[in-house]
Chain A
């Protein structure tokens, strides 16, 4: 009898492991192992012909903290995230509410708004190069009609980062709108009817019914936008290469530059670990605080 229970338990355990194994294998291959390997290489010095690699502990990290470019890049990335995330979400929500209502040419509006999302990043960046290029660019040509002087949007430190931010918002808002649109269509019609019967204003209905019901979607979009704000690199290759004078350099571009332009893998690894750490903290906050405040249907 006891033996039978034992076998049964073991069978269950094996069954459990089999169910877990696909995810475990994939995560180990593509997440856990690379993270550990990256951490490992971040605590060794760089190997060159005249100096073999040796254990240096936290040296690569302290180097980074002493590097003014690193702080410049971190600041840039905070500005970038701080601008792109709320603005693209707000625009996406506004557009979704609009595209969900009964407007003429609704299909056209939705398509037009979604188009930037379909474009590859590089194509989008090249498109915007034609907007920004001084003299030749669309912005300058329009400005010239009103007698405005030519502005070198990508070529001056004051505007370069903002020019990149605008491209990102243009590209992302349409993508996020799709999620909002889907979420809006799951809100039952009778809630609206009930609100009308109770005499609630349109604003009251939006604020007390629609927005809370959209909260899970908003959270999902916020996480996505956050990830995107850390992983942007393609646009920079085309638009500014991080310049002028590092004014538009973001963290992933700097990591790429460290690893492949400067051949400095250990510092690139150290920076990657720092990014992982920060994202881990943000994920922790999301699970512990925001999740509790979100109302799921």
Chain B
């Protein structure tokens, strides 16, 4: 009797659960915004369009702060048993997510299209392709670009159409642009200092890591020289403020005319365009030995702990959000780049970039771009590099000492994986 009752109850509750589940698959997606601004509305709009086109799928898109906050929110939701099927997280979290066995490679999801996987810019796939599989699909991707104030260039007697092409020009123009109220250039050194540093190191002809995520080159002479150059911009040449430059408030500082040039994510482009009261330009980063910028930004990941239906629905959502039309809309509304060549072939983005050519700079720079800094134990290795950069910039350690320490720490952390 008791046994029958149990079975009966189980059947009823299973039926009760299964009926709405058949009607709709519910997805919870966490996503970050690292550049500030009202981008949540843009995401909500795209998600609403997706739900309208797929009435059987319901999406809870949860904005969860910057990249670190998002990782924390998504992973603690998973740990506490709350549902989360997919997330936009840092493209460089891939190694850690794989190592924690949290995400599933896209190649292993039922019904994935190889052509689709190959439709994105290869440079944007670099951080997501590990050990022969694809773990992340590019979404809000960027490179670092140089924003500059054309009005200030004119006032300083410089040609507003020729921003600095080399480090030397950056210094000489920076000096012409620096006065009592204004600095020539600001490169942010909080938030994501390693990112800016990586750009400088590439330009100086040296990468800070190997491609397999197992070796770092922090103490290489060229890398040390790079950090010394960054510091010299303020201490020796006086074109940048001393101490650290705040990532989060830099855009505002640029808009208020406190600096003639700023290096920042291309994700700020539309916000700068909408708020600048002056004529501004966007340039590729200057070169020393070579040109270069790391890519940056967020990828889609699908979590391992999902049912086949949820994975299929998640795949559908990701395909929708990265489709050329959506990618074009996203790029226009934010400044992030279109993730596939096809996005730049859409009417919308073609018309927009004709009218506003700076929107092409980040994409054009992909030609010289490299994968963003990412290793095993990436968060801790990165923290060591961040601290070394800040220690040198604030003058509490020499560049050589700080980087040697960071290198020793990184070697200790990576030894287990080699």
Contact B394 A156 (CB under 8 A): yes
5 new A-B contacts at CB < 8 Å, known A245-B397, A257-B383: A48-B99, A150-B241, A243-B387, A244-B391, A261-B72
CA distance A262 to B394 in the complex (A): 25
Contacts of A156 in B (CB 8 A): 242-244, 394
Is the beta-carbon distance between A135 and B258 smaller than 8 angstroms? yes
Chain A residue numbers with a CB within 8 Å of B387 are: 243, 245-246
Asked if A136 is at the interface of the complex by the 8 Å CB criterion, the answer is yes
Contact A135 B76 (CB under 8 A): no
Chain B residue numbers with a CB within 8 Å of A260 are 68, 71-72, 75-76
Give per-residue flags for B386-403: 1 if the beta carbon is below 8 A from chain A beta carbons, else 0: 111011011011000000
Minimum CB distance partner of A260 in chain B: B72
B117 at the interface (CB under 8 A from A): no
How many angstroms from the CA of A264 to the CA of B100 in the assembled complex? 10
Which A residues lie within 8 Å of B99 (CB)?
A: 48-50, 263
User: Once the chains bind, are A51 and B377 in contact (CB under 8 Å)?
Assistant: no
Q: Is A133's beta carbon under 8 Å from chain B? A: yes
The answer to whether the Cβ of A152 comes within 8 Å of any Cβ in the partner chain is: yes
**CB-CB under 8 A for A155 and B190, given A136-B252, A243-B386, A261-B72:** yes
Q: List B contacts of A155 (CB < 8 A).
A: 189-190, 243-246, 394
Q: Is B108 an interface residue (CB 8 A)?
A: no
Q: Are B394 and A245 in contact (CB under 8 A)?
A: yes
Residues from 117 to 159 in A contacting B, C-beta threshold 8 Å: 129, 133-136, 150, 152, 154-157
Q: B54: CB under 8 A from chain A?
A: no
Q: At the interface, yes or no: B101 with Cβ under 8 Å from chain A?
A: yes
Which of B98, B241, B246, B417 has most A Cβ within 10 Å?
A: B246
A152 touches B253 (CB 8 A): no
Say if the beta carbon of B379 comes within 8 Å of chain A. yes
Contacts of A129 in B (CB 8 A): 249
Residue numbers of A with Cβ under 8 A of B are 48-51, 129, 133-136, 150, 152, 154-157, 241, 243-246, 257, 260-264
Task: Give the 6 A-B residue pairs with the shortest CB-CB distance, closest first.
Answer: A155-B244, A244-B390, A152-B243, A245-B390, A245-B391, A155-B243
Which residues of chain B in 28-87 are interfacial with respect to chain A, using CB atoms and an 8 Å cutoff? 68, 71-72, 75-76
Min C-beta distance of A122 to chain B, whole Å = 11
Instruction: Return A59 CB to nearest CB of chain B, in Å.
Output: 14
Kindly state the separation between the CA atoms of A241 and B71 in the bound complex, as whole angstroms: 16
Q: How long is the Cα–Cα vector from A154 to B391 in the complex, in angstroms?
A: 14
Chain A hits for B98, CB < 8 A: 49
Cα A234 to Cα B94 in complex, Å, equals 27
Determine if B96 is an interface residue (Cβ-Cβ < 8 Å).
yes
Report the bound CA distance from A48 to B383 in whole Å: 20
In the complex, chain A residues whose CB is within 8 Å of the CB of B391: 157, 244-245
User: Does B155 count as interface, using CB distance less than 8 angstroms?
Assistant: no
CB distance from B30 to the nearest CB of A (A): 13
Q: How far is the CA of A48 from the CA of B416 in the complex (A)?
A: 11
User: In the complex, what distance in Å separates the CA atom of A50 from the CA atom of B96?
Assistant: 12
A49 engages B100 (CB within 8 Å)? yes
Who on chain A is nearest to B256 by CB? A136
The reply to whether A135 and B72 form a contact with Cβ atoms under 8 Å apart is no
Are B100 and A245 closer than 8 Å at their CB atoms? no
B383 proximity list for chain A (CB < 8 A):
257, 261-262
- What are 14 contact pairs spanning A and B, CB under 8 A? A51-B416, A136-B256, A150-B241, A156-B394, A157-B391, A157-B394, A244-B189, A244-B394, A245-B390, A245-B394, A261-B71, A261-B380, A263-B99, A263-B100
Cβ-neighbour of B96 out of A150, A257, A263 (below 8 A) = A263
Smallest distance from the beta carbon of A22 to chain B beta carbons, Å?
25
Q: Find chain B residues with CB under 8 A from A264 CB.
A: 380
Contact status A152-B241, CB under 8 Å: yes
Identity of the chain B residue whose Cβ is nearest the Cβ of A69 in the assembled complex: B387
In the complex the two chains form, is B190's CB within 8 Å of A244's CB? yes
- Distance of A48 Cα from B417 Cα, bound (Å): 11
Cβ B190 vs Cβ A241 within 8 A: yes
Contacts of A50 in B (CB 8 A): 99, 417
The CA of A135 and the CA of B380, in the complex, are separated in Å by: 32
Q: Which residues of B243-280 are within 8 A (CB) of A? A: 243-246, 249, 252-253, 256, 258
CB distance from A271 to the nearest CB of B (A): 14
Residues of B within 8 A of A51 (CB): 416
Q: A49-B100, A262-B380 are in contact. Are A157 and B396 (CB under 8 A)?
A: yes
